[in-house]
């Protein structure tokens, strides 16, 4: 038997943040574009924007700064709050996994 964990932040009964939104933000940070990040994750731009928008509403903070047009073609960049959110989420997941792994071994070893 193997333990699998999934962590989500729920707000008013809806998923507001989790592994998917975290990965999306990381891709935007790497690629400099929400559109490119969405494409790499096989999702539409509107779906990606909806995910970011929902998280921004929940946290009451802007997570992406966008720049349109120009000679460089614009792009999207993470705000300091977005970087802080990624770090907090990943740290929480790592620590929660360690604790849950110990509890799993305690209660399910040998079953």
Q: Please indicate, yes or no, if residue 111 is contained in any of the structural domains.
A: no
Beta carbons within 8 Å of 43's beta carbon, 6+ residues apart: none
* CA–CA separation, 79 and 68 (whole Å): 16
The CATH number assigned to the domain holding 28 equals 1.10.10.10
| Confidence label for 80 from pLDDT (cuts 50, 70 and 90) | very high
Please write the tens of the pLDDT for every residue from 11-43.
788 787 899 999 999 999 999 999 999 999 999
Q: What domain count does the chain have? A: 1
This prediction's pTM: 0.84
Q: Please indicate, yes or no, if residue 2 is contained in any of the structural domains.
A: no
Q: Please indicate, yes or no, if residue 79 is contained in any of the structural domains.
A: yes
Domain extent, residue 99, equals 13-104
Q: Please indicate, yes or no, if residue 6 is contained in any of the structural domains.
A: no
Q: Please indicate, yes or no, if residue 109 is contained in any of the structural domains.
A: no
């Amino acid at each position: 038997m193997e333990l699998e964990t999934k962590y989500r932040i729920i707000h008013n009964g809806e998923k507001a943040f989790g592994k998917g939104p975290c990965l999306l933000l990381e891709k935007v940070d790497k690629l400099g574009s929400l559109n490119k990040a969405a494409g790499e994750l096989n999702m539409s731009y509107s779906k990606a924007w909806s995910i970011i928008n929902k998280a921004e509403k929940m946290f009451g903070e802007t997570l992406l700064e966008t720049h349109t047009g120009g000679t460089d073609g614009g792009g999207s960049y993470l705000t300091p709050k977005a970087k802080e959110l990624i770090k907090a989420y990943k740290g929480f997941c790592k620590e929660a996994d360690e604790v849950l792994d110990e509890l799993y071994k305690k209660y399910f070893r040998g079953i």
